[in-house]
Structure 1
Amino acid sequence: MAIISKRTKRNLQGQQYHWKFQSVVKQLLDENPECFICGAKENLDIHHIRQCKSYNEDFYNPNNIVVICHEHHLEYHHTYPENVNVKTLLEYTRDVNLKKLHNQRKIQSNYDKMRIRALNQEKELEHLTEENMRLKQELNKHQDNGGLI
């Protein structure tokens, strides 16, 4: 079962929502119990793709509603406060995914740099070990010759 946000829970219990809307939301949450952007399964909200009033038939249309986590829902409305529609929702989703991809590439790049550094340190250690062995052999040879070089 989906874990909805306090805001959504409060709105579903509020007088402004009709029983029809409550059943649509319940069905959507049962079918898609995760944020359509990030896959979060907790703190979920519902979001109307096209802005509409509760007396409008689009308000109850499941094709006009998506499940979204509270964090992305707030960020979307902060980014597009006056312009709620399909285009801005797609732009927002694209931007979130590009940011995620950028962060993944950054993490991969940092991992690659650390791996290269580790390989270089490994080579340096190998070189120092070989140098140490050579110096020990030289010291042993020196001691075998009675301390004469």
Structure 2
Amino acid sequence: MKKLFTLLALFFLALFSIAARASQWSKVRKAYLKAHPVCEVCGSKKKLQVHHIIPYAEDKSLELEPSNLITLCSRCHLIFGHFGNYKTYNPFVREDAEWFRKRMKNAKIIDGDLET
């Protein structure tokens, strides 16, 4: 019974946290995508997501900070942002994205501008 109450408490805490940040996050996310409209890794313009470099759960003060955000497509979000596992994160995702993008340009897979 204690385990059930603990799970319910965690559920409602998570629900409250999401609700408390949703209105501001929506505006920040929309503005960030407008300013950064392509995946920073592969250049895709499809299925874009705004990734928190340092997750909200790790540091709530960085939640709306543009320097803590990066635009990634859904595939690159999982691979570069979370090393293939959403339970972890990559604090060097921006540097890794830049490194990968340069290698793709050098290999002529993408040109000087990011492509879709």
| TM-score computed with the length of structure 2 as normaliser | 0.59
**Residue in 2 that maps onto 1:59:** 63
User: Is 1:91–2:96 an aligned residue pair?
Assistant: yes
Which protein has greater RCO, CA pairs closer than 8 Å, 6+ apart? 2
State the superposition RMSD in angstroms. 3.0
User: Is 1:37–2:41 an aligned residue pair?
Assistant: yes
Conservation of the 8 A alpha-carbon contact between 1:35 and 1:69: yes
Conservation of the 8 A alpha-carbon contact between 1:53 and 1:59: no
Q: State the alpha-carbon separation in 2 of the partners of residues 90 and 42 from structure 1.
A: 22
Percent identity of paired positions between Structure 1 and Structure 2: 20
Q: State the alpha-carbon separation in 2 of the partners of residues 67 and 43 from structure 1.
A: 10
**Residue in 2 that maps onto 1:74:** 78
Q: State the alpha-carbon separation in 1 of the partners of residues 43 and 105 from structure 2.
A: 15
Give structure 2 stretches of 5+ with no counterpart. 1-17, 110-116
Conservation of the 8 A alpha-carbon contact between 1:51 and 1:84: no
Relative to its length, the structure with more helix (as a share) is: 1
Asked which structure has the greater CA Rg, the reply is 1
**Residue in 1 that maps onto 2:31:** 27
**Residue in 2 that maps onto 1:3:** none
Q: State the alpha-carbon separation in 2 of the partners of residues 20 and 61 from structure 1.
A: 11
Q: State the alpha-carbon separation in 2 of the partners of residues 16 and 78 from structure 1.
A: 28
How many aligned residue pairs are there? 90
User: Is 1:49–2:53 an aligned residue pair?
Assistant: yes
Q: State the alpha-carbon separation in 1 of the partners of residues 100 and 84 from structure 2.
A: 11
Conservation of the 8 A alpha-carbon contact between 1:48 and 1:65: yes
Q: State the alpha-carbon separation in 2 of the partners of residues 90 and 55 from structure 1.
A: 20
Give structure 1 stretches of 5+ with no counterpart. 1-13, 106-149
SS of the equivalent of 2:50 reads strand
Q: State the alpha-carbon separation in 2 of the partners of residues 37 and 15 from structure 1.
A: 30
Letter in 2 for 1:94: W
